[in-house]
Structure formats: C-alpha cells, structure tokens
Amino acid sequence: MSNRIVTKRQLTDSIYLMEIEAPRVAKASNPGQFVIVKNDEKGERVPLTVADYDKERGTVTIVFQTVGCSTKKLAMFEENDFIMDFVGPLGQASEFIHEDIEELKNKNIVFIAGGVGAAPVYPQVKWFKEHGLDVDVIVGARNKELIILEDELKSVAKNLYVGTDDGSYGFNGRVTDILKDLVENQGKKYDHAVVIGPMIMMKFMSMLTKELNIPTTVSLNTIMVDGTGMCGACRVTVGDEVKFACVDGPEFDGHLVNFDEAMRRQAMYKTQEGKLLLKLEDGDTHHHGNCGCGGDK
C-alpha cells in the first residue's frame, strides 16, 4: 500500500518536512519512535524519527536532511505523490509517556535539540503540553538559516532558548553554552535533560549534564541504518551492555553511552571494508539476532 504525501515544506537548503498519509502508523505512534521509508521498489530503507503525528487526520510528519541518494530522491517527491513503503512505528517510545503525570509535574525538564534534532524533540514537547506539563527547550544550530521548527516549538514550550554557533541569531554560542548559562547565571534547576542532535553534540552535552548532576536521555536515531537490528550499524555500548539503537532504543542514558565507540563505528560503516571489519570485531554481537524481523524482505 502506497502512502500519499499530504504536505511538503522546504525548511532549509537541505532539510525538508513531509506530512504523510498513514492512518495505521499515526494511530499507533508515540513520541520517540521512528518509521522506515522506502521511496520505490529499488530504494533503500531509510529510518526517520517521527516528527509529529495526527491520529484524527491519519498522518505522520517526517523531517529529513538530504545527505544520501535516497533522501535526495525523496526530496524530489511532491505533494500528492506516493511513497511505496512507510512502515512503523518502530523503536521504543519515550520513557516519559509511561511515567505518572503527577510525578512529572514535580520535575523540571529541559529538552535540548541540535540542528535536525528539533524534529524529534517537537512531538515529545507537544505531548507534555497536551498533558498540562511545562518544559523548557533549547535549540541550536551552526547559523540562523539552519534553525528549524522555531514557531512550532515556541507554541508548545514554556520557554524556548535559541542559539547559533556563529552568533547570527539568538544566543551567541553552542547549546552547551546556553544550558551552562541558564544553570550557572540564571539560577535554573533541571531534574532531567533530553538531548537529541548530532553525536558529537550529544557527547559534549552529556559530559556537561554529568558535571551539573542532571540525569540525561539521548536519542541515537542518527546511527541507525536499516532499522531492524540486522545490519549491525547501530550496535552501541551502554554501560557494560551491548544495545541496538533501533531495537532497544533509540533513547538511552546519555551518561552511559560510549559515544567515541559509536562515532568510530559510524565512520567505519561508510565503507565496505569498514563494514566487514566491524563484523569481524563484533563476532556474535554484530547484529540483534532476536528482533524477529528477518531483515529487509
């Protein structure tokens, strides 16, 4: 069954938003989960985090950056075109939706998004808003042109803090600088941080939140490749355990994730030789053998 593109928006030179008609996926979706998109019969599987969903309209929103052949082809699709496969929701939902609402009301939570990370942050913050909960949001990017979904986040956040690395818009500095300023200079106190963005940003943010004694959740959606646990790309060490971002996550304790290992694997997986070397190094733990999916059929 093909899925119709209801709306399409170009957010930056290389970032697009699409609202896809997918009633079954929309009905079952929760914040933190992802879908797998396949443009056509010859297209590759692309895992993309759910950026929003409307259960009544039966639509799911995705936001993607054109970094490879498949995403560049997807960007060429227009409204009312059809995508061949749109499968989901997959992965574990955000841990917060399982917590007691009254307990959540007593917590000060901050969401921190870097670049395209604003997309998966939005449905989580929206969920909090819909349940009468106020949260702060920090959004950062290299420059003003790369800030996305600012208006959408402003409509659901208690406070929205925007910054750019080059100082072209909002706070002059990185998201780590914004959080440090809020805590050390503005007297803010947070009980939990949710961080989503590039791996290097999540690494340094997790280092900072550990110093500030703020428990932290990160989303490792950026390292997923096939979304089933069979390719071995998103194998990551969390504490002393081997986990797979697509099956066990994508959210994990940021203070336990071995970011250096994950980024090394990410770089190696880009070459065929690197893939073979990782398979050799990992041995029996290379893929998630119990996912029950059978791979890409």
- The whole-angstrom separation of Cα 205 and Cα 296 is 34
Question: 3-state secondary structure string, the chain?
Answer: CCEEEEEEEECCCCEEEEEEECHHHHHHCCCCCEEEEECCCCCCCEEEEEEEEECCCCEEEEEEECCCHHHHHHHCCCCCCEECEEEEEECCCCHHHHCCHHHHHCCCEEEEEEHHHHHHHHHHHHHHHHCCCCCEEEEEECCHHHCCCHHHHHHHCCEEEEEECCCCCCEECCHHHHHHHHHHCCCCCCCEEEEECCHHHHHHHHHHHHHCCCCEEEECHHHCCCCCCCCCCCEEEECCEEEEHHHHCCEEECCCECHHHHHHHHHHCCCHHHHHHHHHHHHHHCCCCCCCCCCCC
The CA-atom distances, in angstroms, between 277 and each of 214, 227, 230, 268 are 37, 21, 16, 8
Q: Is-contact 73 64, C-beta < 8 A?
A: no
64 a known binding residue? yes
Please indicate if the annotation marks 65 as binding a ligand.
yes
234 is in an annotated binding site: yes
38 pairs with which residues across the strands?
Answer: 85
63 annotated among ligand-binding-site residues: yes
As annotated, the binding site for [2Fe-2S] cluster includes 231, 234, 246
Binding residues: 63-65, 231, 234, 246
Residues in the annotated binding site for FAD: 63-65
